[in-house]
A and B are shown apart, each in its own frame.
Chain A
Amino acid sequence: MTHIEVTVNGERRSDEVESRLLLVHYLREILGLRAANVGCDTTSCGACTVLLDGKSVKSCTVLAVQASGHEVTTAEGLSAGGELHPVQAAFRQHHGLQCGFCTPGMVMAAVGLLSENPHPTETQVREGLEGNLCRCTGYHNIVRAVLAAADAEQVQANGSAPANAEVTA
């Protein structure tokens, strides 16, 4: 067993884990944070996406031991005091989820994307989410949601609407 110290959603955790324990299982089974889901075996689907030191990663392909000394943010950690994060709110507003299985990972990937590219074009959103698979939505509303969240975040930051708000059908 290996000793790890991980900060998860702002909370410091200390645990003894098997070295092969995947970060996604550490979060789900040991910490009870089950929003991140396992959807595949080949690092393809992104349902397990969380932020590691602020960067989106697929937690099924990170060992819990690799996260020791680092910070993890999950979907549960996004909403502060019961308020939906702007990306979560946008997903709701635009019906960017149906069965919800891909959703926490998709939201975290979107948060990661917007932190690196605050004003993505539609193409950049689609490419930015190429690591997250969804079977239900056909991606249409997910893309709308992310673009809307980008606009909303700009409004929040600047206190005014963006000059060239992308018209979304």
Chain B
Amino acid sequence: MIPAQFDYVAAESTAHALGLLAEHGDDAKLLAGGHSLLPMMKLRLAQPEMLIDIGGLAELAGVRTDGDELVVGATTRHADLAASELIRAEAPLLAYAASQVGDPQIRHRGTIGGSLSHADPAADLPMALVALGGSVELQGPGGSRTVSTDDFFQGFFETAMQPDELLTAVRVPRRPGVPWGYQKFVRRANDWAIVGVAAVDGRIALANMGPKPLRATAAEEALAGGASAAEAAQHAADGTSPGEDIHADREYRRHLAKVLTRRALEHETG
């Protein structure tokens, strides 16, 4: 319940943080909201020797527009995302997803950068990002690069980030007025999704149907080919590899994926 010992540094700038990452590599972890990392450290599932606190860096915060994209700073808190007038107008699925993470206290601390780099396949924001499309901006010792959301999540708690990289911002397309749907099936409030579905603009993403958030490509293709929501949803589980746990076995997850996809395509939130 108490983390193992570690050194703590409050980064003075992004460059400072990157320098420390380069120096300490795998032994160091970035800390912003800490609500993915600290719970793991308290259970001793993660034992970094150093924490680099980037929570106070103003250059990593804030939401703005850039042409046809929204740019969300990595240290933007879930609560602020959920309340942002701009996001609610232009990417309401993102605002809604942020409003569903954990509970109010968690949302006051957790950040989008933290959530995405944690890459829990059952989490809200990774699924939302995959549905929205867009990209993730990373900075490393060699400079910055952009990774599309389709390539960012690579496996179970695994992303395209290198140990010496820092996630600086997230870019999503602006879609004001475009209908969307979001389904998060939980046993109980505050749980991660047993299965989750986010749908917007012909794109469908699934949470907890595999080691990373997945696109329901077969269902998307059916939709693009003129199928109804109900018909397309029948293909929602195609190509997925859901796991089994105390909540659900594979068969139930596949069933839920279909039901929830149909509901999301019918623009329901739940």
Contact = CB atoms under 8 A, between A and B. Distances in A.
A46 B39 CA distance: 14
Contacts, number: 86
Contacts of A69: 56
B109 A61 contact: yes
Contacts of B10: 65, 68
B8 A63 contact: yes
A65 B7 CA distance: 11
A45 to B, nearest CB: 10
A20 B14 CA distance: 23
Interface in B5-64: 5-8, 10, 31, 34-35, 38-39, 42-43, 51, 53, 55-56
A130 interface: yes
A104 interface: no
B9 to A, nearest CB: 9
B34 A61 contact: yes
B68 interface: no
A118 interface: no
Nearest to A69: B56
Interface string B73-112: 0000001000000000000000000000011111011000
A164 B197 CA distance: 37
Interface stretch (A28-36, A51-59, A77-85): A51-59
A20 B5 contact: yes
B28 to A, nearest CB: 13
Interface in A1-22: 2, 18-20, 22
Contacts of A44: 190
A66 B10 CA distance: 9
B3 interface: yes
Nearest to B39: A43
B189 interface: yes
Given A58-B106, A128-B104, 9 more contacts: A18-B5, A20-B3, A41-B42, A56-B108, A58-B105, A61-B109, A63-B8, A69-B56, A131-B190
Interface of B: 1-8, 10, 31, 34-35, 38-39, 42-43, 51, 53, 55-56, 79, 102-106, 108-109, 189-190
26 contacts: A2-B8, A19-B6, A20-B4, A20-B6, A42-B39, A42-B42, A43-B38, A43-B102, A43-B106, A52-B108, A55-B79, A55-B108, A58-B105, A58-B106, A58-B109, A61-B35, A61-B106, A63-B51, A65-B10, A66-B31, A66-B53, A109-B104, A112-B104, A130-B104, A131-B102, A131-B104
